[in-house]
Amino acid sequence: MRDCYQRKITYLRVSVTERCNFRCFYCRPREGGAASGRDIPLEHLVRVVDAGTMVGIRKVRLTGGEPLVRKDIVELTARIAGMEEIDDVALTTNGSLLRRYTPALQEAGLKRVNISLDTLKPDRFQRITCSGRLQDAWDGIEAALEYGLYPVKLNTVVMRDVNDDELLDFVALTEKLPLHVRFIEVMPIGESSERAKGQLVTAEEIKQGIESRYGNLEPIKSAAGDGPARYWKVPGAPGTVGFIAPLSGYFCDSCNRLRLTASGTLRPCLCQGDELDMNDLLTRGASRTELAALIAEAVTRKPQGHAEDTIEPVVDRLMSQIGG
């Protein structure tokens, strides 16, 4: 189905929980704001995705929060991957529980994985996540490579005076391993909205810093999976370097996604608060056609995008609620 701006909407990001075993400061507050612990029932999630296929959804990404804290995540993956119309099921995770689940997830039909990793320093990792162990995340990365969940992408949010001194260390990973490192501009969402202004390092700054060491990077075609990243590589490296620039760049005109939040609402645009509540329909057992009609309405309500030179702070939800 196409929206009012002739974008073909084929991608649904599903926040399966707002719960997480980390508490990264740019995603959720350190104090208060605890997740409710009441996840959307598995059957409701399956019904939403199934109805979405009626209006053209072909790709699903399971996200959160941390999706692997859901005890039924393998069954959910299998149910969605088993739908004839779904071509691709992917997962975004912090990686800390991935080693434990990788064999079952691959067997269930998971195709690809994105792993959030903002530092390669153990002490800094613990400070950013407020509890995590870098080794656990790295074990998850190795498991994804071992089980062929290609391409394995690392999502690195670059923050000035937090981790911007590690850019070359991440690039060095791509020279050794078939990893696709994506440097992401920090976004003004939730509790970190004000802080993000001073922490922004633009994609162009990041690229210039890398090229000051490596020379001109070699442009390549995108790694598998639709998305806003632009990819480059160090000549001869098995991995790639990508840049996602939601603030300094502009890719709204190619956005092909909807989001199902952890509270059961459809959000046509990450950066705007318009949402359609699906809970009533799901609770009263609405038909597949009724659910598809509401999803179609979300497609028609998808805005053209944000202003090309700025993004207004998103304050109505945390990133863990929207789906990171």
Amino acid of residue 123: D
The partner residues of 264 in beta bridges, in order of sequence, read: none
291 φ/ψ angles, rounded to the nearest 5 degrees: -65, -40
Note the pLDDT of residue 164: 97
Note the pLDDT of residue 309: 58
Note the pLDDT of residue 322: 83
CB 293 within 8 A of CB 45: no
H-type alpha helices, the chain = 42-52, 73-81, 98-108, 122-129, 134-146, 167-176, 193-199, 203-214, 279-283, 288-300, 319-322
- Secondary structure of 213-234 as H, E, C letters: HHCCCEECCCCCCCCCCEEEEC
Nearest CA to 278 out of 2, 14, 82, 79 is that of 14
**Domains identified in the chain and CATH numbers:** 11-322 (3.20.20.70)
Note the pLDDT of residue 19: 94
Note the pLDDT of residue 213: 95
Predicted TM-score of the model (pTM):
0.92
Q: What is the pLDDT along the chain (324 residues), one digit of tens a residue?
A: 999 999 999 999 999 999 999 988 777 655 544 555 689 999 999 999 999 999 999 999 999 999 999 999 999 999 999 999 999 999 999 999 999 999 999 999 999 999 999 999 999 999 999 989 999 999 999 999 999 999 999 999 999 999 999 999 999 999 999 999 999 998 776 555 566 668 889 999 999 999 999 999 999 876 555 467 789 999 999 999 999 987 776 678 889 999 999 999 999 998 888 999 999 999 999 999 999 999 999 999 999 986 665 666 665 677 777 876
